[in-house]
Amino acid sequence: MKVVFHQEFRKSYGCEPAAEERRMDCVLEVIRDKVEFVEAKSAEYDDIAACHTTEHIQNVTRMGRYYIAALAAGATIQAANIGLKEPCFALVRPPGHHASSDFSWGYCFFNNIAIAISKLKQQGKIRRAFVLDFDHHDGDGTINILGTKGYTTICNPNELNPDSYLGVVEKSLSCDFDIMGISAGFDSHKNDWGGVLSTENYREIGRIVRKASKKNNSGCFAVMEGGYNQEVLGHNVMEFIHGMTEF
């Protein structure tokens, strides 16, 4: 599988958990010999402005986070375009799913997945999109930006039992879509904040989304969101990637 990445994502840009030292390295150490890396490029200003207000963009700029946030958004656009033909993963930070059009929190600045899907739609490459957000926290920013557009279905599973969780994921994917974007947060792991899923469960989620994508003859891509236990994070990402590529 192709993984869109940039060495800038390895650098710590703040004191929040998403920016922790070595958080990207713990993933790279597991996946580096098993994937094909594509170098990320920054999103254009207009791509970001399609989802965020001028005032919000200016606030992110004043915080000194514009460059790294635009790079994460650009990587996700690349992953979405690759995903139209083959599964792809954007290994990025900062995350994005808590970034609304005019406000952000939860270590997010620009909404990576919303920017990518909006660009595909604007370019006429898709009619309908599906967003599966399996981060421990609901993607309220994604709902804010894409939830009222009329062309995107969004699922944020929050079950506390692994079997029920996987069942909700599978059932939610019975709708029609041209692209599936996955906000891949790994903090629902049993040894992370959420305490629900096993590492093997992430492989099963990968299988479920890939199966649904093939059934729909649609594209599929994922972008990194949360996940903070560095002992398990890389293995969780690897198992998810394995699941997406098994079919």
Please tell me which residue in 52, 98, 136, 137 is annotated as part of the active site: 98
Lookup: tokens for 179: 């692209």
Residues 6+ apart with CB under 8 A from 24: 9, 10, 91, 93
Question: What are the residues whose beta carbons fall under 8 Å from the beta carbon of 94, sequence distance 6 or more?
Answer: 13, 18, 19, 65, 68, 69, 72, 107, 108, 109
Closest listed residue to residue 231, CA positions, set 25, 8, 14? 25
Catalytic status, residue 98: yes
Rounded CA-CA distance 42/78 in Å is 10
Q: CB neighbours (10 Å) of residue 220? A: 29
List phi, psi (to 5°) of 152: -125, 130
Residues taking part in catalysis: 98
